[in-house]
Structure 1
Amino acid sequence: MTHQAAIPLGQSLRVLAVSETDPAALVSGDVVVGHHTDLEALRSFAAGCDVLTFDHEHVPNEHLRALVAEGVRVHPGPDALRYAQDKLAMRERLADLGLPVPPFAPVASVDEVLKFGVAHGWPCVLKAISGGYDGRGVWMLNTPESVHRTVPELLESGTRLIAEQCVPMRRELAALVARSPFGQGGAWPLVQTVQEDGICVEVLAPAPDVPAESAAYAQEMALRIAEELGVVGVLAVELFDGRDGLVVNELAMRPHNSGHWTIEGARTSQFEQHLRAVLDYPLGATDPLAPAVVMANVLGAPAAPKMGPDERLHHLFARFPDAHVHLYGKAERPGRKIGHVTVLGERMAEVRRRARLAAHWLSHAEWPDGWDIHGGT
C-alpha cells in the first residue's frame, strides 16, 4: 500500500524482505532478500537509498543507530522508535510528560507481579516489554493463581515484563497523526477500533459519539507526543476510552491498521502522508471524504473457503459494488489478516453493516447467520 502511494509521487521503493513472495516484494521491482535483524543485510539494503523507513517496529534499535552513525537517513530515527519498541521506556516517557497512562511497573519475579496485583487490583495486565503485536505478548492475569500458571515460564524464557493496571473502558480509540522533519503536523479524525481476541477487526471513522472537545484533545495529545519524541512519519496513538477519560495504550510509528480507511476515506492517505513526511515534502490535507467510513479487516476463516479469492471477489462486487477491497497476497490461515474492505457513506450504522458483511464474505465465502444482506440484521 505504501508502494501504491509512492507511484503518483514519482518515487520508487526498495523493499527488504525475508522472501521474494512476501506481500510487499510481490509489487516491488527492487527487492533485496534479507532479514531485518541482520546488520550486514541492512547495510547492503540501505546503500543508495535516500531514506530508510519501516512497516513494523522490529528492526533492532542498535542496528538503526549503527546505520545513522554511518550516514544513513532513518525516519523515524532510533531515538524516537525506541518508544514504540520498548513499552517500559514508552510508559516512563509519557508519564514524565504528564500524559495519561495506566499505573505500571517492571516486574522480574512472581512475587513482584503478585504485589502489583494486590496494590492495583485484579485483573491486571502483563506485557512483554518488546516484540508483541496483534494481541501477542499480552496476558490477562485474573487471579493470583493465574500468575503462578503464567509468569514462571515467561521468566524462564528470558521475556522482559511490565505489569499494568487493567483500565476499565468503554471502547478503544486511535489518534493518527503525521509529522515532518521540521515539525509540520497533520491529524486525521479520531477513530474507534474494534478488537476481537487482541486483533483489530473494524475501524470506524470518525469515532461515533465522541464529544468534540475529547476528539480535539486526543489529536492534540498525539501531535504533542510526535513532537516530544521527535517522530518523523506517521504515528498512531492507541487509546482506551476509560471511565475517567482517555488513557494511552500503545504507540506505533508507521502506517497503522487504524489508518487503512484513509486510502479511500481521506484527502491524503496515511501511506502517502508517511512518504511525504519521511521525504520532507509538505504534508497533505487530512479531511475525511464522507460522513462515515468503516474499514473491516478480512481475517482467515477457521476452515478453507469453498471458493477461491477471485470467485469471492466476483460475488462480493455483484452484491456491494461500492466496496473498496485490498487483498494482501498472503496465504490464508485462521485469524490472519489477509486484506481489508472499506465502505463510505452517510450513516455509520449502514456503512458498518455493509463493511462487516463484505469482510465476512471475503473470509468465509458465505454470509453470516442471522444477517439480512439486503439491509438490517
Structure 2
Amino acid sequence: MDERTQLPVLGMVGGGQLARMTHQAVIALGQSLRVLAESPQDGAAVVAADVSIGGPADAEALAAFAAGCDVVTFDHEHVPGELIEKLAAAGHVLRPAAAALRYAQDKRAMRRRLGELGLPMPRWRTVDSADDLVEFGVPCVVKTATGGYDGRGVFMVEAVDDVAALLAAGVPLLAEERVPLVRELAVQIARSPAGETAVYPVVETVQQGGICTEVIAPAPDLTPERAREATDMAVRIATELDVVGMLAVELFDTGDRLLVNELAMRPHNSGHWTIDGAVTSQFAQHARAVLDYPLGATTPVAPVVVMANVLGGEPGGPRLDERLQRLLSLDPEMRVHLYGKAVRPGRKIGHVTVTGDDVADLRRRATRAAALLRDGV
C-alpha cells in the first residue's frame, strides 16, 4: 500500500510502450505505476516516478521489485515461468499467473491446450527434426515455440533447408498449415480474479511484413453471428486458461470460419484504438482487472475508430518534432501517441488514432498521418 495515496501499488515488469501507456491510464486512478525496466531510456522509465532497473530473467531484481508491489503484472511475455512461480510461492501476487501465462509464452503449449478445448485452429505439429517437417509437408509456416513477436520467429518455409540452421541449433519449432485468409481479426477481453469479464468489439488488423500497421474498430462487414463466435471463443479461452488481466485473441478469418492464431495476456497492439475510441481503454481495463476493481464499459465512442502504427523511417529529413507540428496543423482531430523510443527503420515508435463514421476516409487520414511521421512527407 502506498502510504501517500492509501492505494495499492501496481508494478509492471517491462518498461516499453505498453507500460508507458498503462502508467498514463493509472494516473487517473490516483496511482503512479511502478516499473521494472531494463534501461533508464525505456519508454516507461522516462515518464514513471518509480522505476527499478533489471532484466526480466534476473531473479534478484524481480524479487526486490515485487517486494514493493501489492500486485505485479507484465508488459511482455519474457519472464521465465519458474521465476513467476517462485515469486508466487514467496507470497507475491502476480497477474496473470504463470499457469496462464505459459500459453502466451509457448506456442506448442498453447496449441495443445486449445486442441484439448476443441477450439478451431490451423493444422499443426511440433518440429524437432527435418523428418518432422517433411512428414508435416512443405510449403508451410514454421514458428519458434518461444520468443517471437511482430513477425519475428515466423518463417514462410518453401523447403526444409529454409530452417536447417534452426533445426541444427535445436530451437523448438512448430509447423502450421498456410491458411487461405480473407483477413485477420482480433478480440480483446478483460477478466478479473473473480471471473468478471468485459469484451471489446472485434477488430480487423492489417499486417505488412508481419507487423500490424492498422486496426479498424469494429471490423467492417462482420456479421453479428461471426462477431458472437469470436467473442464466445475469447470468453472461453480467458475462462478455461484462468487469465487475469487483458487477453488478446488473434484470429484468422478464412471466410468460412475463424481460426485461433495467437494469444497475448497483456495490453496488445490491436487494442491501442481504445485509448481514444472506447469508454475504457485497454490499459485502464488491465489495471482494473489485475487490481480486482470493477471492470469498465467497452463501448466505442464513435461508429468507427481507425488506429495506424507509426514506424521508424530512414535517417534524414525533418526532425520528429517538426513532423508532429505539421501533422497537428494538417489534421487537428488526429490523436497522436509517441512512445519516446529511439527511431530505427521499421521500429514501432508510436500510433495515431482517428474517429468518425466513414471507414475509407478515416483509413486514408490515419495512413497519411503515420506516413508523415515516418517519412516527413
TM-score class normalised by the smaller sequence? over 0.9
Aligned residue for 1:37? 57
Q: Within 2, Cα distance between the matches of 1:17 and 1:201?
A: 26
Query: How far 1:328 moved relative to its partner?
Result: 0.4
Q: Within 2, Cα distance between the matches of 1:232 and 1:65?
A: 15
Q: Within 2, Cα distance between the matches of 1:247 and 1:154?
A: 27
Aligned residue for 2:32? 12
Query: How far 1:98 moved relative to its partner?
Result: 0.8
Candidates 77, 94, 102, aligned match of 2:97? 77
Conserved? CA contact 2:128–2:170, under 8 Å = no
Query: How far 1:156 moved relative to its partner?
Result: 2.3
* Structure 1 stretch displaced more, 104-113 or 278-287: 104-113
Query: How far 1:242 moved relative to its partner?
Result: 1.3
Query: How far 1:157 moved relative to its partner?
Result: 2.3
Question: Is 1:337 matched up with 2:312?
Answer: no
Aligned residue for 1:192? 204
TM-align CA RMSD: 0.8
Structure 2 residue matching 1:62: 3-state secondary structure: helix
Aligned residue for 1:136? 152
Candidates 213, 228, 236, aligned match of 1:216? 228
Conserved? CA contact 2:22–2:284, under 8 Å = yes
Question: Is 1:293 matched up with 2:305?
Answer: yes
Query: How far 1:13 moved relative to its partner?
Result: 1.3
Query: How far 1:178 moved relative to its partner?
Result: 0.5
* Structure 1 stretch displaced more, 178-187 or 150-159: 150-159
In structure 2, relative to structure 1, the CA distance for the partners of 1:305 and 1:177 (3 Å cut) is: farther
Deviations 1:10-57 (A, max 9, x none): 122111111111001011111101111111110011112010001111
Structure 2 residue matching 1:237: 3-state secondary structure: strand
Query: How far 1:352 moved relative to its partner?
Result: 0.8
Query: How far 1:172 moved relative to its partner?
Result: 0.4
Aligned residue for 1:363? 374
Candidates 54, 61, 73, aligned match of 1:53? 73
Deviation beyond 6 Å, 4+ runs, structure 1: none
Q: Within 1, Cα distance between the matches of 2:348 and 2:125?
A: 32
Aligned residue for 1:116? 136
Q: Within 2, Cα distance between the matches of 1:184 and 1:106?
A: 35
**What residue identity is the alignment partner of 1:341?**
V
Conserved? CA contact 2:157–2:163, under 8 Å = no
Q: Within 2, Cα distance between the matches of 1:340 and 1:12?
A: 23
The 5 Å alignment of 1:142-291 reads 142=158, 146-148=159-161, 150-291=162-303
Query: How far 1:151 moved relative to its partner?
Result: 2.3
Conserved? CA contact 1:305–1:363, under 8 Å = no
Conserved? CA contact 1:267–1:288, under 8 Å = yes
Candidates 119, 127, 134, aligned match of 2:143? 127
Unmatched 5+ stretches in structure 2:
1-20
Q: Within 1, Cα distance between the matches of 2:201 and 2:334?
A: 21
Aligned residue for 1:369? none
**What residue identity is the alignment partner of 2:86?**
A
Q: Within 2, Cα distance between the matches of 1:285 and 1:318?
A: 32
Deviations 1:253-280 (A, max 9, x none): 0000000000000000000000000000
* Structure 1 stretch displaced more, 150-159 or 196-205: 150-159
Q: Within 2, Cα distance between the matches of 1:151 and 1:14?
A: 41
**What residue identity is the alignment partner of 2:295?**
L
Q: How many residues align?
A: 357
Q: Percent identity?
A: 61
Unmatched 5+ stretches in structure 1:
367-377
Conserved? CA contact 2:38–2:54, under 8 Å = yes
Structure 1 residue matching 2:44: 3-state secondary structure: helix
**What residue identity is the alignment partner of 2:160?**
V
**What residue identity is the alignment partner of 2:238?**
A
Conserved? CA contact 1:232–1:278, under 8 Å = yes
Q: Within 1, Cα distance between the matches of 2:338 and 2:247?
A: 24
Deviations 1:155-211 (A, max 9, x none): 222310011111111110001110000000001110000000000000000001111
